[in-house]
Structure 1
Amino acid sequence: GAAARRYEPTAQPNCRTRRGELHLKKSVGLLREKSKVTVTDCYSLMEKETHYAKAKWAKKLGVSTSGYYTWLQERDRRQKAQKSLEDRVISIFKEGEGTYGVDRICGILRRDGEPASYPVIKRIMCQEGLKSCHRRRRQRSLTDSRKARGDEYKNLTKDLVIDKPFQVLSSDISYIRTGEGFDYLCQIRDVFTNTVLASCQAENMKKELVLQTLKAAQDRWHLPADVIFHSDRGSQYTAEDVIKQVSDYGWKQSFSFIGMPGDNAWSESFFSVLKKEIVHWRFYPTRESARQAIFEYIEVFYNRRRVQKRLGYLSPINFLNTWQQQYQQCVA
């Protein structure tokens, strides 16, 4: 009798109730051990624990059930928005072919009317392993200006306000390393829109390379007279044939001051970008492979797709077209 009563099990429903109550009190007690309990902490506990109905948890924690469900909906909305932003950042990075950093991606998002926080975009890029091309030091110009010291080589761009396309053109020559040796790239770029008007490559950097590039720019764009054609004082640009061809187009020729390579920073900055984005991390086995890659970079990507901060996060061609449309509307 007494022994049997001592080992008689308690009714099952009462056992479940006591264990549940103990679990509820323990969970609330652990929550209160925190120095500062927030409403979000309570909602997180309610989501995690499933022993009781949400209404009972809410009453015990001193929060509202409706607030809990609103919190769930808002969290889901934020997670969807975050996923959408992550997908957008990845898409923009791919469109930029790995050349866009945090600043430019933020600029593109803001241009399109989307909110963009630098720390948030930086975190997403780190999280997704998105790294833009590394910056390199400025490229030294290959042309030699030491022999051109006459007063006739004037800088016509000093203190000049450049406010329209095809007002000032900038040109320079740089080298591309290939498996067959150096290849030389000459480019002419519009300073106002940053559009590369022409680019030519050759196995040497003689005046003929400049003449070829000048002709390509004029044949393609039919540039107006009074254009200022600016370069350094390299022998290729001070050659009589080059001076004559520039004059025949009705252009004015301008030269950097001696010892002032920054006067032609427009071209130097372009070569710096080009080499960072398509040269330094690639190997070109032949000159032809380098020429094909650079042609595609300039004509397909740089001029038409690569957005630039100075251009309002538009590509050079888009910026040029927008400017011309606005100009036509003003004069109409």
Structure 2
Amino acid sequence: MQVHREEFRVCAMCRVLRVNRAGYYAWLKSPDSERAKEDERLLGLIKHHWLASGSVYGHRKIAKDLRDLGERCSRHRVHRLMRTEGLRAQVGYGRKPRFHGGTPCKAAANLLDRQFDVTEPDTAWASDFTFIRTHEGWMYLAVVIDLFSRQVVGWAMRDRADTELVVQALLSAVWRRKPSAGCLVHSDQGSVYTSDDWRSFLASHGLVCSMSRRGNCHDNAPVESFFGLLKRERIRRRIYPTKDAARAEVFDYIEMFYNPQRRHGSTGDLSPVEFERRYAQRGS
């Protein structure tokens, strides 16, 4: 009735809707309830965390953010407030299912064998690359992910999907983490990962090579999952005007959001950085 007051007379609306006119005016004068005031305050916090996530978090993750701040609210209440305000999580898009049993790896043994849950950092890494569209041409992003925390420990971008791209990503991971000899590095059987330069780099740094079965993306599922998040939450929404713009967006997503802030289901809904911090505290 409030919305349509300029179009229709109040008495006419009350008669059609069978609402007592005196009761309607009394409702207009009544102050907001304490519950409504609290909802308004919570909604401000919800909007802040939703925007801070790049407009990708849903009600479950935002509810955890609020509880970390000491707020006492259920995820159902957060869901109701977000739905009322039109705040939605970014959701995936349909993909045709691909099934491939795989064949025995001829390049290197599949030492990882889908054992994605490891108990210590820098014992098993996974690598792959993907493409990003810009108006200046394609850019390619290679990443190295620590399977312990799902943190992106190394990454590189180039305008060519060559061996130098993946070696640069691995070099940045080695420089940042300084893993002990024997750290497993898993990848697919792409030509860049079967190259002499890749094998030579692994050997010179005491890293152990592991490769997926041919044509089986599920053998490298954690990296596929990361690329899915990246494309769904940032890249898929735009074609970047320049290659530098794409690089800046990837930096912001990985270093400013995904690693330090984004909650991950495999780490108890902690961010990769927070998960490793708590692990280090337990060991000290």
TM-score normalised by the chain length of structure 1: 0.70
Alpha-carbon spacing, 1:114–1:196, altered in 2? closer, same or farther (3 Å): same
- AA matched with 2:213: F
Structure 2: distance between partners of 1:122 and 1:280: 25
Asked whether the equivalents of residues 142 and 166 of structure 2 are also in contact (C-alpha less than 8 Å), the reply is: yes
Structure 2: distance between partners of 1:258 and 1:147: 6
Asked whether the equivalents of residues 148 and 238 of structure 1 are also in contact (C-alpha less than 8 Å), the reply is: no
Structure 2: distance between partners of 1:187 and 1:138: 22
1:297 aligns with 2:240: no
1:246 aligns with 2:224: no
Aligned match of 1:92: 49
Asked whether the equivalents of residues 114 and 219 of structure 2 are also in contact (C-alpha less than 8 Å), the reply is: no
- AA matched with 1:173: F
Aligned match of 1:104: 61
- AA matched with 1:213: A
- AA matched with 1:242: W
Alpha-carbon spacing, 1:140–1:302, altered in 2? closer, same or farther (3 Å): farther
- AA matched with 1:192: F
What 5-or-longer segments of structure 1 have no aligned partner?
Answer: 1-43, 50-71
Asked whether the equivalents of residues 103 and 214 of structure 2 are also in contact (C-alpha less than 8 Å), the reply is: no
Structure 1: distance between partners of 2:241 and 2:94: 24
- AA matched with 2:36: Q
Secondary structure of the 2:33 match is helix
Aligned match of 1:154: 109
Alpha-carbon spacing, 1:154–1:116, altered in 2? closer, same or farther (3 Å): farther
Larger Rg: 1
Structure 1: distance between partners of 2:110 and 2:87: 42
Structure 1: distance between partners of 2:142 and 2:95: 17
Alpha-carbon spacing, 1:202–1:232, altered in 2? closer, same or farther (3 Å): same
Structure 2: distance between partners of 1:203 and 1:222: 27
Structure 2: distance between partners of 1:175 and 1:133: 20
Aligned match of 2:173: 217
- AA matched with 1:171: S
Alpha-carbon spacing, 1:207–1:100, altered in 2? closer, same or farther (3 Å): same
Aligned match of 2:143: 187
Structure 2: distance between partners of 1:80 and 1:209: 53
Asked whether the equivalents of residues 157 and 254 of structure 1 are also in contact (C-alpha less than 8 Å), the reply is: yes
Asked whether the equivalents of residues 229 and 253 of structure 1 are also in contact (C-alpha less than 8 Å), the reply is: yes
Asked whether the equivalents of residues 102 and 121 of structure 1 are also in contact (C-alpha less than 8 Å), the reply is: yes
Asked whether the equivalents of residues 111 and 313 of structure 1 are also in contact (C-alpha less than 8 Å), the reply is: no
Aligned match of 1:34: none
Output one character per residue of 1:86-144: Cα deviation in whole Å (capped at 9) or x when no partner: 22211211221201012211232344453443432222112222122231346999xxx
Deviation at 1:218, TM superposition (A): 0.9
Asked whether the equivalents of residues 126 and 147 of structure 2 are also in contact (C-alpha less than 8 Å), the reply is: yes
What 5-or-longer segments of structure 2 have no aligned partner?
Answer: 1-21
Aligned match of 1:169: 125
- AA matched with 1:157: L
Identify the match of residue 124 of structure 1 among 70, 74, 81: 81
Deviation at 1:163, TM superposition (A): 1.1
Output one character per residue of 1:289-310: Cα deviation in whole Å (capped at 9) or x when no partner: 1112111221112112223333
Identify the match of residue 311 of structure 1 among 267, 273, 278: 267
- AA matched with 1:124: L
Q: Return 124-133 or 180-189, whichever deviates more.
A: 124-133
Structure 1: distance between partners of 2:244 and 2:119: 37
Deviation at 1:176, TM superposition (A): 0.3
Aligned match of 2:235: 279
Structure 2: distance between partners of 1:138 and 1:117: 33
Alpha-carbon spacing, 1:140–1:181, altered in 2? closer, same or farther (3 Å): farther
Q: Return 179-188 or 102-111, whichever deviates more.
A: 102-111
Structure 2: distance between partners of 1:94 and 1:310: 24
- AA matched with 2:142: C
Deviation at 1:85, TM superposition (A): 1.9
Asked whether the equivalents of residues 134 and 241 of structure 2 are also in contact (C-alpha less than 8 Å), the reply is: yes
Aligned match of 1:205: 161
Identity %: 32
Output one character per residue of 1:259-278: Cα deviation in whole Å (capped at 9) or x when no partner: 32101011100111111111
- AA matched with 1:262: H
